[in-house]
Amino acid sequence: MRKLRADALRIFEAGLAAVDGAESVRRAVLRKGDDVLISAFDAELRVNLSEHDRLFLVGGGKAGAVMAEALVESLGEDAISAGAITVPLGSERPDIPECIEVFGATHPLPSDSAVEGVRRMLELAEGASERDLVFFLLSGGASSMLPLPADGITLADKVETTKQLLASGATIDEINAIRKHISAIKGGQFLLAARPARVISLIISDVIGDRLESVGSGPTVRDTTTFADCLEIVRRYRLSRRLPASVMKRLRDGARGKFSGPEDMPDKVFERCDNVIVSNNDVALVACQEAAESLGYATANLGSRVFGEAREVAKVMVGIAQSCQARGYPARPPCCIISGGELTVTITGDGVGGRNQEFALAAALHLSGTDGIVVLSAGTDGIDGSSDAAGAIVDGGTAARGAYEGMEITDYLARNDSFSYLDAIGDTIVTGRTGTNVMDIRLVMVDV
For residue 91, the model assigns a pLDDT of 76
Return the ∠ at Cα 140 (arms to 41 and 118), rounded to 5°.
115
- The secondary structure of 149-160 as a DSSP string is BPTT--HHHHHH
Distance CA 429, CA 289 (A): 20
Confidence category of residue 1, pLDDT binned at 50, 70, 90: confident
Indicate if the pLDDT at residue 93 is higher than 80. Answer: no
**Contact in structure between 204 and 142 (CB atoms under 8 Å):** no
For residue 280, the model assigns a pLDDT of 97
Confidence category of residue 90, pLDDT binned at 50, 70, 90: confident
For residue 27, the model assigns a pLDDT of 95
Confidence category of residue 16, pLDDT binned at 50, 70, 90: very high
For residue 23, the model assigns a pLDDT of 95
Indicate if the pLDDT at residue 448 is higher than 90. Answer: no
What proportion of the chain, given as a percentage, has pLDDT over 90?
89
**Contact in structure between 138 and 59 (CB atoms under 8 Å):** yes
Residue with more model confidence, 90 or 6: 6
Distance CA 20, CA 369 (A): 37
For residue 432, the model assigns a pLDDT of 93
Nearest to 293 by CA among 2, 5, 1, 14: 14
- CATH code for residues 2-11+282-446: 3.40.1480.10
Indicate if the pLDDT at residue 144 is higher than 90. Answer: no
Strands 82-88 and 54-60: parallel
Confidence category of residue 347, pLDDT binned at 50, 70, 90: confident
What average pLDDT does range 183-196 have in this prediction? 96
What average pLDDT does range 239-247 have in this prediction? 97
For residue 239, the model assigns a pLDDT of 97
* Lowest-confidence region among 54-58, 258-262, 443-447: 258-262
- CATH code for residues 21-148+183-223+261-279: 3.40.50.10180
Helices (H), 47-154: 64-75, 112-126, 142-145
Where do the domains of the chain lie? 2-11+282-446, 21-148+183-223+261-279
* Lowest-confidence region among 25-34, 169-178, 284-293, 362-371: 169-178
Q: What's the burial of 13, exposed, middle or buried (CB within 10 Å: 0-12/13-18/19+)?
A: middle
Distance CA 364, CA 424 (A): 14
In tens, the pLDDT along 209-242 reads 999 998 999 999 999 999 999 999 999 999 999 9
Q: What's the burial of 201, exposed, middle or buried (CB within 10 Å: 0-12/13-18/19+)?
A: buried
Indicate if the pLDDT at residue 104 is higher than 80. Answer: yes
Residue with more model confidence, 94 or 184: 184
For residue 117, the model assigns a pLDDT of 96
Indicate if the pLDDT at residue 94 is higher than 90. Answer: no
